[in-house]
Amino acid sequence: MDIVVRPPITPAQIRAGRALLDWSQQQLAHAAIVGLSTVRDYEKERRGGEGSGVKAIHEALERQGVIFLPGEGDHGPGVRLAANVPNVLRWPTKVDRFGAFIIFVEWRGREIGVFVPREVLDVLGRFRESHSESEYLALLDQQRGTLLKAAATAIDAGRVMPDRRVHLTNDDFPEFSALRQRRIRKSRTPNRPQAAAT
């Protein structure tokens, strides 16, 4: 049985991995299930070696798509993100004039604007009526991963318009759309009286 030996990760790689995720030290500590002082100590070069703390930090960052690159030749070690979802360039802070939220992303070397209309958010949030802009923005944050995966699928399917924009629709979220259709059908079905118990 071959034992895989992982190259050690450096404090700079931990800081860089955390920065790629836009995480605070507290968020990393929580994800790694270690104390905040453990993260601080590793990042400030106060601890070293292959202890359980650095292993937990390493695994927590890897679970979020951080790839640790070992040093090679004249190149030092580094980090990068796995390309399973687009990289966010600008997250929306308000609804646009067309009633949609636009997420600007980088995907496979191209900058693309992803349009997310309120109707899509109504499905994702299981909303029955319109909500405030702040509630939609909170839902955008909550559904970030789902939205970015749908954007990747839509872009890879060739749905990018000439103006480098892609529009997400309810069809991009079949599991949520099916749930909404069941609710609509159920709300249209009249209640049947319960049979009397004998």
pLDDT on residue 145: 81
3-state secondary structure of 72: strand
Residue 39's pLDDT is 95
pLDDT for 75 beyond 70: yes
pLDDT of residue 82: 81
- Confidence tier at 130 by pLDDT (50, 70, 90): confident
Task: In whole angstroms, give the CA distance from residue 5 to residue 11.
Answer: 19
CA distances from 65 to 2, 17, 35, 82, 133 (A): 25, 9, 22, 5, 30
Q: What is the pairing mode between strands 100-107 and 87-90? A: antiparallel
DSSP alpha helix (H) spans, 9-78: 11-21, 25-32, 36-43, 52-63
Instruction: For residue 37, give both structure tokens.
Output: 């002082």
pLDDT for res 114: 97
Structure-token pair, residue 140: 């955008």
Q: Taking 60 as the threshold, does the pLDDT of residue 112 lie above it?
A: yes
CATH number at residue 184: 3.30.160.140
pTM above 0.85, yes or no: no
Domain enclosing residue 101, as ranges: 87-188
Q: Which pair of tokens denotes residue 89? A: 């360039």
- Looking at the fold, whether 135 and 166 belong to one and the same domain comes out as yes
The CATH number of whichever domain residue 57 belongs to comes to 1.10.260.40
Q: Is the dihedral of CA 173, 60, 88, 125 positive or negative?
A: positive
Q: Are residues 51 and 109 in the same domain?
A: no
Domain count along the chain: 2
What mean pLDDT is predicted for residues 109-126?
A: 92
Pick from 81, 97, 117: which residue ends a domain? 81
Note whether 69 and 103 are same-domain residues: no
What pLDDT digit, counting tens, does each position of 52-71 carry?
889 999 988 988 889 999 99
Q: Which residue matches tokens 């839509």? A: 154
